[in-house]
Amino acid sequence: MDEDNKIYLFDTTLRDGQQTTGVNFSVSDKMTIAKSLDELGIDYIEGGWPGANPTDNDFFSRDLNFTKSKFTAFGMTRRPGRSADNDPGLNSLINSNAHTICLVGKSSSFQVKNALGITEDENISMLSDSFNYLNNKNREAIYDAEHFLMALRTIKSMQ
């Protein structure tokens, strides 16, 4: 298959799946699920958020030796008022065993202004600085465009 036309599968079970009431994965559970997803050939397996809790810290310290999948960490862009290299959240991602990192960032002007309390220019700088930092650390970076549909709806209503 031509790589330009490939649809990549990105699985978030190990983070989103455990956000369900009553679900609490152990490191062993995460390793078993991740191995099964790798065997299925899922392109990206997001293991959670390094630095978020002891389970994720332990899980991201492991070498999973995927054969088909890319081990992916989830996190946020740098915080406002910090440099990317001085941001504890970004550094926990860099210090994990994940080669690929998915960063969530605000895509809606409303969310940027009201949830983050920053300017759109600062939001763009946070995104740019964070992705440049990851690229300079030889990490594949993926953007999770939080509130994208809200932003799209706002743009369409303005047309």
Query: Which has the closest alpha carbon to 103: 114, 118, 92?
Result: 92
Residue 159 pLDDT:
60
Residue 107 pLDDT:
83
Q: Which CATH architecture has domain 8-158?
A: Alpha-Beta Barrel (3.20)
Residue at token pair 């036309």 = 5
Q: Mean pLDDT of successive 10-residue segments in the chain (159 residues)?
A: 83 80 88 96 95 91 92 94 94 94 88 89 95 96 76 57
Residue 137 pLDDT:
96
